[in-house]
Amino acid sequence: MVVVLQNNLSEKELENIKKKIRKLGNIEIREVKGDKYRILGLIGDTSSLDQKEITCMSGVEKVMHVQEPFKKANRILNPQNSVIDILGNKIGGKKLSIIAGPCSVESEEQIVEIAKNVKSGGASFLRGGAYKPRTSPYSFQGLKSEGLELLKIARKETKLPIVTEIMSPKLVEKFQEDVDVIQVGARNMQNFDLLKELGKTNKPILLKRGLSATIEELLMSAEYIMSEGNENVILCERGIRTFEKYTRNTLDLSAIPAIKKLSHLPVIVDPSHAAGLWWMVEPLTKAAIAVGADGIIVEVHNDPENAKCDGAQSITPKRFNKLMNDLKDIATAVGREI
Ligand code: PEP
Ligand code: MN
């Protein structure tokens, strides 16, 4: 529910309105001052609120329901874009965020070499899977806790913050200690127990869109994390399942402007898992930045042919460097920096 305030209301009137709302239940009040309006966003179960009782209070212009089921993620309650700061690297600001690295961590030499490569190419975060969600239980499942240790070595060598996927709520404490950005993969987008646990931390969460999830479902999953108190959520469009088989998934570019309209949260694109084909990573990245994405998460491998996971969609460090250079003009054209 949103209480639209009169422009000239006094501090006393404002206090009275807040007091009244607080008396009516366990509701969080968020004050929003826009250029043209001033509102109180009410978050929580507002079913016990008598709309008429508030409408007739002095200083209230009108009371409206927020149509969308997501509240904390809704742009109405937070008109400015959210910017998330990770060890001094911001996601959601003017500068594009580039997260790059292999699908999975394979060895110390591999992850450190790729980390150095992507850093010199212009990445500001290192990705690498330690716990891998594989379709087949017989496929490589990741180096698990050893993988996390290797990521920490790569971070020490390069100073790049690390981004890696969590699959189990049991590992939240460990990830909170070891990892800079915790990734929730497409397959776990609606693992609500996991989302709630992550909501109790203060770690930035990179939330990927589920394989067949709607934009609203993605935003509701973000709401699960935010409703527990953690508002550091970064959304990721990574392609959705359609009837098309040529690509691994279908990159839903329209999701970017749609999410930007609906929500204040940063949104990045994963061109690698969207396409499943390395040679499509470059054009899809360019398109993603052109439609307003705040950055990308891209798979880079120093030996794609022998990668333990997703080699076919991984670009080499050399191609990554070229892509970063080619992106400069597009970034400038849409008012961004790289
Ligand atoms: C990944 O980023 O390695 C991954 C498994 O991605 P997704 O969850 O989008 O499939
Ligand atoms: Mn992968």
Report which DSSP code applies to 87: T
pLDDT of residue 26: 83
Residues 152 and 243 in one domain: yes
Indicate the pTM of the whole model.
Answer: 0.95
Q: For residues 186 and 230, state if they share a domain.
A: yes
Total count of domains within the chain? 2
- Asked if residue 179 belongs to a domain, the reply is yes
Query: 139 CB less than 6 Å from ligand 1?
Result: no
For residues 10 and 93, state if they share a domain: no
Q: Measured from the CA of 187, which atom of ligand 1 is nearest?
A: 8
Residues 189 and 313 in one domain: yes
Residues 11 and 153 in one domain: no
Alpha helices (H) along the chain: 11-24, 51-55, 108-121, 145-158, 172-178, 192-199, 215-227, 255-262, 271-275, 278-290, 317-333
Same domain for 248 and 103: yes
The verdict on residue 311 lying in a domain is yes
Residue 17 and residue 134 in one domain = no
CATH code (residue 45) = 3.30.70.1140
pLDDT at 132: 96
pLDDT value at position 49?
Answer: 81
Task: Say if residue 281 is in the same domain as residue 218.
Answer: yes
From CA 332, how far away is CA 327, in angstroms rounded? 9
Question: Does residue 42 belong to any structural domain of this protein?
Answer: yes
Question: What pLDDT does 268 receive?
Answer: 98
Looking at the structure, do residues 50 and 111 belong to the same domain, yes or no? no
Claim to verify: residue 118 and residue 57 sit in the same structural domain? no
Residue at 75 is within a domain: no
Is residue 73 one of the residues assigned to a domain?
no
CA 179 to chain centre: 15
Task: Assess whether 150 and 45 both reside in one domain.
Answer: no
Quote the DSSP letter at residue 20: H
CA of 9 to the centre of ligand 1 (A): 49
Question: Does residue 310 lie within any of the structural domains?
Answer: yes
Q: What is the pLDDT of residue 305?
A: 98
Between the CA of 174 and the centroid of ligand 2 the distance, in Å, is 22
pLDDT of residue 188: 98
CB 27 within 8 A of CB 46: yes
**How far apart, in whole angstroms, are the C-alpha atoms of residue 329 and residue 218?**
31
- Does residue 31 lie within any of the structural domains? yes
Q: Give residue 33's pLDDT.
A: 84
pLDDT of residue 37: 80
Mutate to test the pocket of ligand 1, among 99, 103, 248 (most ligand atoms within 8 A of CB): 103
Q: Please list the pLDDT of the chain residue by residue as tens digits (338 residues).
A: 999 999 889 999 999 999 998 887 788 999 988 777 889 999 988 877 888 889 999 999 999 888 899 999 999 989 999 999 999 999 999 999 999 999 999 999 999 999 999 999 999 999 999 999 999 999 999 999 999 999 999 999 999 999 999 999 999 999 999 999 999 999 999 999 999 999 999 999 999 999 999 999 999 999 999 999 999 999 999 999 999 999 999 999 999 999 999 999 999 999 999 999 999 999 999 999 999 999 999 999 999 999 999 999 999 999 999 999 999 999 999 999 99
Domain end (from 36, 64, 92): 64
Q: What's 92's domain CATH number?
A: 3.20.20.70
Task: Check if 161 has its Cβ closer than 6 Å to any atom of ligand 1.
Answer: no
Confirm whether 74 is domain-assigned: no
Per the structure, the complete domain to which residue 240 belongs is given by 84-333
